[in-house]
Structure 1
């Protein structure tokens, strides 16, 4: 019953009573269910037991099913469908009961659920993807009440439909270890690989040394051959994966490819994917010399649509030899991290940066990230010539370089780069050790503030022991900074400092909103820094001084706000 207070004209309001309509009752019940600790369990029970609630409850449940998606589906079947025992929770045996078509009605309604409307009165969330995610993360030895791969693969063979989820768009599946992998993995994949799939993630969750006989290559081949509309493929597998390279040619709609490991022989086929926009590789295994197949690509259109390239572990010397493959790519993000254990020199680094200058599109590149974080490569420095190779990328918004060696740049080099990068928002030359500071002084900050009005974050170690006496000003006495920087985060790394008061006033004048975030990497409690660099006393002193700088800047900012009122 619903109570409503109604008033007409000057008459006092009267309380009217009316019965709730079905859609309103459903909404009221769902509001109460949402307050429970496990609302999805209640929604699933409502869908199974009440015809009025079935459709709206399924739609609301399917909008955000959580990790128990398959559990709700299995509960739609009669109990006792599978054989279980205490010592072996799930036997890989046929179903103990025959599943008549009538028992498939409710699971099929769940598995075929389409997004869009909702139940009576529009109850339920709209689904952007019909059946968004199916996860099979439980290994086959999980307790019997958990949904596991065995049940799913067995059910798939009895389904009236060719696949369990005919409208499936996204599949995230982990491949667990098993003593009989071929007996159920193929059946499992056949049950799940709907031709409507757009997004597939496959992740190994077993130790290859424990289960050496499991080869996921045939499973990947099944994915490629059964999902012609695939746009995103993520393969988190061991280095032993050797996918038939020519299969990639069938993925003509693929836009995003992520692989934990890519062999040299796969690259030529991936390079010819016309729709590929994003390529992420955990480890790229390149031969010492480009293969004949790679050399044959020199005059072909390779990576014509690639916008994002991220490679975590690669031999930089070998990567330099194939950078020409990206000459036609509209790259806007380039992220490279060399192998930790490799023989590199500063000249090798410079050669790679020059290859970026020679082959990467200068009109499209916006983000450049290069991480070299290995103590064994502490002798590998980033030269000024290397950074100057990036000067032609006028649209650069983010420069992030992390190096175990030194940055061989001076204030004049940074000023030239700042003039070339008017859109720069993030500037990071991050050192990993106190001894690897740059030769920069506080003057380089003036150059960045003057020529990069969009700058929001800086992370550089420099020398703050000497404070510039002046900042360039115009005839009216105003600083030559194009716009006041609304937000600025400054990490001074392992910067030595002598006079915190002078530095604080200098920074506050240069960056009026710096009080948001000012940090340094000096940490008196970090024993690794002290023992490796012998900077126990300096760590304490510099950390205290930068804390004082931060406090002064915050005080100046607060005083400025009071004066502005």
Structure 2
């Protein structure tokens, strides 16, 4: 092969185009053909082809035909395997980087897998394995693979995913726990996903305590007593990211204030129930170095208020950059109103660059928005969304407050009352030499995306279009959203809502005209609204 074709960059480019389609069974032939093309392509191609497996099917096919029998329920081994029988298995097994063992379709029974391990005579089946996933099957089932795991998980594994699959209350998970304890001491596991279940709640704290190699941890909280495990997590000074999925009743009664954690940077909390769980987690973890917090839950104002207080106590004000409270795609269908007082402690986090609060009803007026802009001058993204249909309290003047207080703001989601243009928009003269500038001596504001949701608008949309293009020259029609139902016709929506949508569509239609006029300095007499 020509020396140019041997460069890693060119090989990576070729693999990218080939293996993007290799997920389709019909296209795998192209990838396999590439592996056979020449010696230089063979091993790099095999590393991609064999990188991830969900069953042992491919390896069973590498065994001699006289050593396997095939049936509807899967393959079975016949006789005793020798080292030569496993030569091809060992060769291709060296390319496997990720293996997910799922009892639903393992392609081999635990008994037959044990036979293979014995024949390997101490050699690892996947000597270069990096990521291992295990989906638990109840103890005593014929496809219970846990006894095979110590031999299957090589020392090279650094990512472990243990799905205990909600075991029966009387199941003894001692073997699974012993395997995890072994991984803690023998492997340098940096990523761990683990179910915390009722069967062995007291052992989780001991397991997690002192696991110094962990950098990324995700816990699926399937039992009520998880506080000891979280206290152990708070002491992991090397941990960078933590995700807690709590889809059941989880009680953290009188949570102890844990030791200050100086390494945890990203925290994600997912919980369906509305309570003080997120605030209690903050109290236990005491994440001083936290830079990102995402609470995916239907939060009431009381829960938000307590969370804000705990964060101001436990997190360093200059470190926090990102906050997401709630889920915009799944907002609460009822609840009390969130006001500025509920998030007041968060105003001390002056380094925030992205804030999203999604609740049932949120009501900030122009003065509140001005205060937010002054407290968070580094904001690039702000999203304040409520599911309530109440008329917004803030107006277009809030856009100017945010733009002036947060010069880097590029994305904004905020319901506002656009029935009247702000006085600033009509009183501030536009510099003749800088038709794009919002004010003399200032660069144009950077806003590129604006979502006003179902905001009301005045009967003269050209005023709104003029205002937006005057102060936000980087904002384009496609960057403006206003809850427009493009596929619905006039008969399918109430008349008032239909008129609102028509006016916001007119705003988007008029924006290019105003932008061009401000760019050239030529203003036409009258604007075509048709």
If the length of structure 2 is used for normalisation, what is the TM-score?
Answer: 0.79
Match of 1:360 in 2: 315
Match of 1:135 in 2: 100
Structure 1 residues not aligned, in runs of 5+: 1-19, 114-130
Aligned partner (choices 400, 407, 413) of residue 446 of structure 1? 400
Q: Does 1:513 align with 2:474?
A: yes
Shift of 1:136: 3.5
Shift of 1:459: 0.5
Q: Work out whether residues 113 and 148 of structure 2, in 8 Å CA contact, stay in contact via their aligned partners in 1.
A: yes
Match of 2:218 in 1: 258
Match of 1:413 in 2: 368
Aligned partner (choices 176, 179, 193) of residue 222 of structure 1? 179
Shift of 1:151: 5.6
Q: Does 1:325 align with 2:290?
A: no
Structure 2 residues not aligned, in runs of 5+: 523-530
Q: Does 1:57 align with 2:55?
A: no
Matches within 5 A, 1:153-552: 154-175=115-136, 180-181=140-141, 184-203=144-163, 218-219=175-176, 221-227=178-184, 228-235=187-194, 242=201, 244-245=203-204, 246-261=206-221, 263-283=226-246, 286-287=250-251, 289-290=253-254, 295=256, 298=257, 301-313=259-271, 316-321=275-280, 323-338=282-297, 344=300, 346-371=301-326, 378-405=334-361, 407-435=362-390, 437-471=391-425, 473=428, 479-480=438-439, 482-486=442-446, 488-498=448-458, 499-515=460-476, 516-523=478-485, 536-552=494-510
SS in 2 for 1:396: coil
Q: Does 1:112 align with 2:94?
A: yes
Aligned partner (choices 28, 39, 61) of residue 75 of structure 1? 61
Shift of 1:301: 2.8
Going from structure 1 to structure 2, the CA distance change for 1:401 and 1:22 (only over 3 Å counts) comes to closer
Counterparts of 1:82 and 1:352, CA distance in 2? 60
Q: Work out whether residues 231 and 285 of structure 2, in 8 Å CA contact, stay in contact via their aligned partners in 1.
A: no
Going from structure 1 to structure 2, the CA distance change for 1:24 and 1:267 (only over 3 Å counts) comes to closer
Counterparts of 2:386 and 2:339, CA distance in 1? 14
1:291-342 Cα distance to aligned partner (Å, 9 max, x none): xxx53xx4x63433110111011654354345333445200001113367xx
Q: Work out whether residues 224 and 248 of structure 1, in 8 Å CA contact, stay in contact via their aligned partners in 2.
A: no
SS in 1 for 2:217: strand
SS in 2 for 1:514: coil
Going from structure 1 to structure 2, the CA distance change for 1:225 and 1:555 (only over 3 Å counts) comes to farther
Going from structure 1 to structure 2, the CA distance change for 1:270 and 1:112 (only over 3 Å counts) comes to same
Q: Work out whether residues 337 and 363 of structure 2, in 8 Å CA contact, stay in contact via their aligned partners in 1.
A: yes
1:248-270 Cα distance to aligned partner (Å, 9 max, x none): 12521101011222623321111
The count of corresponding residues between Structure 1 and Structure 2 is 494
If the length of structure 1 is used for normalisation, what is the TM-score?
Answer: 0.75
SS in 1 for 2:74: coil
SS in 2 for 1:388: helix
SS in 1 for 2:307: helix
